[in-house]
A and B are shown apart, each in its own frame.
Chain A
Amino acid sequence: MDPLIATALDTARKRGAQYADIRLVSNREQRIVVRNGVVETMTADESVGLGIRALYDGAWGFASSRELTNAAADAAAGQAVQIARASARVNGAGLTVSDLLGAPVVSKGNYATPIDIDPFNVPIEDKLSLLFAADEEMGKVPQVSARMGNVVFIREERTFANTEGALVTQTIHEAGGGIQATAVGNGETQRRSYPQSHGRQQGCAGWEYVVAMDLPGHARRIAGEAAELLTADPCPVGIDTDLIIDSSQLALQIHESCGHAVELDRALGDEAAFAGTSFLTPDLLDSFEYGSDQVNITADSTSATGLGTFGWDDEGLPAQASDIIRRGRFVGYLMSRESASRLDQVSNGCMRASSWNRIPLIRMTNVSLESGGWTLDDLIADTDDGIFLETNRSWSIDDRRYNFQFGTEVGREIKNGKLGRLLRNCTYTGITPDFWRSCDAVCGPQHWQLWGTPRCGKGQPGQIAHTSHGASPSRFRKVRVGVLR
């Protein structure tokens, strides 16, 4: 064991901690942004540090240091216990470790993201070449006023150890890329993105993941669509119609209306002041009809290329898959050791910290809608009157995850089983369980894709988590559209 780890855990024990764990993290990130034909950002960032959690009298404390020395580890461990003692003054739980956290976690091992090509070994010139080629293509559409392309590569080394005997090391690689064109004219501003919005598509993968996106090959198309949207008809206003929602938009729908709703800390009130709570309270577990029988949702931290894919979570629990929604019924939460114990369950390994200087929180892993059996062509042909929605533009949901409203970059009218005119400024809104109960068709595995969500905010101090969500295009009946004007 690294002497620094031994020092920290030993100090925590000696200061009276019932339990302690430590994470050593070394993060390296490269980011390149090309905007309007020039490199706006080309940066190499590194961040190294340690974080220590300590439990005293059933209450938590946490401290961190950017210095990886025995002295810093000793000081941080002492501070973590001191803070835990202060926590215990306000209604400390006064519980034993086993009451609070359940069975000990003693995981051991190593894990690394499988990659073909290490992005940090790829010449900068190749990355710039890719982005400039895409930028040039977008620039061929005259109405486009702003162009952006970016790539991001991350390599993070993590070591976790606890006073129960766990010791695991991991190397996580992430790769991401995306392009965006904004067109202005006709009193309008419209945007199109590829492969998805929010800047980029991202996964736990190597350089090959970004190459496979073929950003230059899609640049002209999305720029043209942004321009075309300037004069497209607006989304119909205030009607209920059938929607077929594309895979990437549905991924965000899952994230907001299911993924956050099944975080057990929210359901138990721990996030009440900031992120909010959840309508999926523990008394509804195993009985609540969340959606139609077409809706099967899992949390799976073993999915290939998922941003929620790892060897162990930040409490040392192994990666695993668990059911969240089965045939429409709510059957499982995303859990930590402590929250799972409160329901007499065992954690399904969802504790993740965004950095060495943040505590682990319950976060989504890869929360995905299982594929169904339809082809997209058949599903469109089976729809008499509706809208096909693609690519998120705006998103909002209430603090209990009931009332949502999403906007998409593009809509296409469906009439008599065929795609028709382009529609701009499309929005749809609803109440979460009503919406998922209206799902009557999910496309098959050939249309299923895992989408990265690398900007999920939660916690105070704030943390940004990287999660993924898989989905196939799916149909929802009689959803309210067109609330934007």
Chain B
Amino acid sequence: MLGPDHIRSRLKEALRHCPAGSDADIYLTASVQALTRFANNRIHQNVAHQDAVAHVRVATGFRQGRSATNNLSAEGLASAVRQAAEYARLMPEDPDFPGLPEPSGVQSVSAYDEATAVCAADRRADVVGTVCRRAADLALEAAGFCRTGLTEFAVASTRGADAYHVGTFAGLLITARGDDSAGWSKGGGWRLDNIDSEALTDEAISKAVKGRNPRDLEPGEYPVVLEHYAVDDMLEALSFYGMGAHMVQDGRSWMNGVLGEHVMSPLVHISDNGLDAAGWPMPFDAEGVAKQRVDIVSDGVASGPVHNTYTGAKEGKASTGHQRGATGGPTATNLFMRPGDQTTEELIASVDRGLYITRFYYTRLAHNRGCVMTGMTRDGTFLIEGGELTVPVKNLRFTQSYVDALTGCRALSSAAHLNLNEAGVAMHVPAALLDSWRFTGQTV
């Protein structure tokens, strides 16, 4: 860990190299990650890696140039500032560029756990060893990972931005495989001790056992109960294919043409909140702008996307603090879907004939209008008959508008879970009962 004092002094020193008459900001990320990976009931990959990258932007009037380096020496950073300034000089003017943002009141939020930050390889091996032994006892093959680490974020600018945040992360992913079945579980957050490895092992193993001898099922439209893993996939897709203002401004978002309209069930309420410790908190964005809570879907109404400084200025609005990286557009990465009032068992009990889906796999955008996605089910797909899980079925392909599917959201579970992926995208979501899901094929 580099620490706030070291980072601040380095960035402050580097900003002195910004040419007179220009502004500069530096967005720094520094991560230390250890990941113990297992397959076939043994650890086959076990890594520790670290990096620190300074992303430099120099703005000269309506021009901006960028550079990035992982050489954090005084000369390395100075060189990066000079490179960005040179690019800014060569860059044509962009009349929409509003300049660098002014400092905003960034709140601090705790997301650091010392035990997670310093977790040793032996402890991860202990966790993994238990998972592998329990799988082997039932003639299953376990695969997955246990990871721990931390990421530091900092932004400093000649305009006075001075923001620092450090967050730890931990994750345990388990796939238990039999000859013709598989079960999945995944837990994560910013504290390793909050991950219940026993419960996750039970979850993956029980699905693999129950999933043996899957049957064929004719593709078609079925009501579905989606576990939170599958709902996480839906929110990620809706985020990346339409919740950023740049996509709306380009006409590429599922929100185009439906802003302000009821596009989903009134049960569906989706907000982005980087300050909520139930997620993976991040109080500011890559421009150093304080993250605002944004209601993106309000009781089923598409209320609006998230902004960075550039997209906000185009519409005369302030940034909502959602510039995710040094380049690219604004992105919602701390999403919360409002839970409902039922247990998952009650969701299942209300289905006469439908499917219970653990998770989706390899989902890709097929058409941006309505966010039509195609993908597969994986690691635990079961038929629901008469309100009960009856038999496992072979994995199915779907081609489905995620927006349309959420218009038929009939109920949500009261329990919501954090799904934190390896890229730092956090979705806090419940299980969902949807009236209809369109399955278009089946695998062998």
Among the listed A59, A64, A89, which residue makes an inter-chain contact with B48, where contact means beta carbons less than 8 Å apart?
A64
Among the listed A33, A271, A398, which residue makes an inter-chain contact with B397, where contact means beta carbons less than 8 Å apart?
A398
Bound CA span A317–B281, Å: 44
Among the listed B39, B48, B84, B363, which residue makes an inter-chain contact with A272, where contact means beta carbons less than 8 Å apart?
B39
Bound CA span A429–B396, Å: 13
How far apart are A444's CB and chain B's nearest CB, in angstroms? 32
Which of A43, A80, A357, A399 has its CB near the most chain B CB atoms (within 10 A)?
A43
Contacts A43-B87, A47-B53 hold; do A269 and B39 have CB atoms under 8 A apart?
yes
**9 smallest beta-carbon distances between A and B, as pairs:** A86-B121, A91-B42, A273-B143, A357-B49, A403-B443, A146-B250, A43-B66, A272-B143, A38-B94
**Residues of chain B within 8 A of A83, CB atoms compared:** 34, 46-48, 121
**Cβ-based interface call for B366 (8 A):** yes
Bound CA span A60–B42, Å: 11
* Docked-complex contact B50 and A64, CB < 8 angstroms: yes
Task: List residues of chain B with CB under 8 Å of any chain A CB.
Answer: 33-53, 65-71, 83-84, 87, 90-92, 94, 96-97, 120-122, 124-125, 128-129, 132, 141, 143-145, 147, 173-175, 177, 182, 250-252, 256-257, 326-327, 361-369, 372, 374-376, 378, 395, 397, 399, 422-423, 440-444
Contacts A47-B53, A90-B38, A269-B143 hold; do A397 and B444 have CB atoms under 8 A apart?
no
Query: Which residue of chain A is the closest to B89 with respect to CB atoms?
Result: A124
Interface digits, A46-87 against B, CB 8 Å rule (1 contact, 0 not)?
Answer: 111101000000011111111000000000000110111011
| Interface residue stretch chosen among A157-165, A181-189, A371-379, A435-443 | A181-189
* Docked-complex contact A124 and B87, CB < 8 angstroms: yes
* Docked-complex contact B96 and A38, CB < 8 angstroms: yes
**Residues of chain B within 8 A of A398, CB atoms compared:** 361-362, 376, 378, 395, 397, 443
**Cβ-based interface call for A145 (8 A):** yes
Bound CA span A431–B376, Å: 13
A-B pairs with beta carbons under 8 Å apart, 20 shown: A46-B69, A47-B53, A47-B70, A49-B70, A51-B49, A63-B48, A63-B49, A87-B125, A93-B42, A269-B40, A269-B141, A358-B47, A394-B364, A396-B374, A397-B362, A402-B444, A403-B376, A427-B374, A429-B397, A484-B367
How far apart are B61's CB and chain A's nearest CB, in angstroms? 13
Bound CA span A142–B37, Å: 52
Interface digits, A217-236 against B, CB 8 Å rule (1 contact, 0 not)?
Answer: 00000000000000000000
* Docked-complex contact A394 and B66, CB < 8 angstroms: no
* Docked-complex contact B369 and A399, CB < 8 angstroms: no
Sample of 9 further A-B pairs with CB below 8 A, known A92-B43, A358-B47, A407-B374: A38-B97, A51-B49, A62-B47, A87-B125, A145-B250, A146-B250, A184-B251, A403-B443, A407-B366
**Cβ-based interface call for A45 (8 A):** yes
**Residues of chain A within 8 A of B128, CB atoms compared:** 90
How far apart are B394's CB and chain A's nearest CB, in angstroms? 10
**Cβ-based interface call for A366 (8 A):** no
How far apart are A237's CB and chain B's nearest CB, in angstroms? 11
Number of interface residues of A (CB under 8 A): 79
How many residue pairs link A and B with beta carbons under 8 A? The number is 255
**Cβ-based interface call for A461 (8 A):** yes
Question: Main secondary structure on chain B at its contact with chain A?
Answer: strand
* Docked-complex contact A182 and B251, CB < 8 angstroms: yes
Bound CA span A83–B33, Å: 13
**Residues of chain A within 8 A of B361, CB atoms compared:** 276, 398-399
How far apart are A252's CB and chain B's nearest CB, in angstroms? 11
**Residues of chain B within 8 A of A359, CB atoms compared:** 45, 47
Contacts A43-B327, A86-B36 hold; do A60 and B44 have CB atoms under 8 A apart?
yes
Interface digits, A120-134 against B, CB 8 Å rule (1 contact, 0 not)?
Answer: 000011001000100
Contacts A62-B47, A83-B46, A270-B44 hold; do A429 and B441 have CB atoms under 8 A apart?
yes
* Docked-complex contact B122 and A461, CB < 8 angstroms: no
**Residues of chain A within 8 A of B46, CB atoms compared:** 59-62, 83-84, 86-87
**Residues of chain A within 8 A of B378, CB atoms compared:** 398-399
Bound CA span A402–B368, Å: 26
Contacts A66-B51, A425-B367 hold; do A399 and B376 have CB atoms under 8 A apart?
yes
* Docked-complex contact A42 and B87, CB < 8 angstroms: yes
Among the listed A80, A89, A189, A276, which residue makes an inter-chain contact with B122, where contact means beta carbons less than 8 Å apart?
A89
Bound CA span A145–B250, Å: 6
* Docked-complex contact A45 and B68, CB < 8 angstroms: yes
How far apart are B180's CB and chain A's nearest CB, in angstroms? 11
**Cβ-based interface call for A395 (8 A):** yes
**Residues of chain B within 8 A of A416, CB atoms compared:** none
Contacts A64-B50, A84-B46, A87-B46 hold; do A396 and B362 have CB atoms under 8 A apart?
yes
**Residues of chain A within 8 A of B71, CB atoms compared:** 46, 48, 66
Bound CA span A43–B56, Å: 9
Bound CA span A36–B365, Å: 23
**Cβ-based interface call for A476 (8 A):** no
Bound CA span A84–B125, Å: 11
Interface digits, A303-318 against B, CB 8 Å rule (1 contact, 0 not)?
Answer: 0000000000000000
* Docked-complex contact A64 and B251, CB < 8 angstroms: no
* Docked-complex contact A41 and B39, CB < 8 angstroms: no
**Residues of chain B within 8 A of A59, CB atoms compared:** 42-43, 46
**Residues of chain B within 8 A of A82, CB atoms compared:** 121
Bound CA span A63–B84, Å: 31
Among the listed A40, A90, A146, A272, which residue makes an inter-chain contact with B132, where contact means beta carbons less than 8 Å apart?
A90
Among the listed A273, A279, A425, A461, which residue makes an inter-chain contact with B47, where contact means beta carbons less than 8 Å apart?
A461
* Docked-complex contact B376 and A396, CB < 8 angstroms: yes
Bound CA span A189–B253, Å: 10
**Cβ-based interface call for A483 (8 A):** yes
**Cβ-based interface call for A241 (8 A):** no
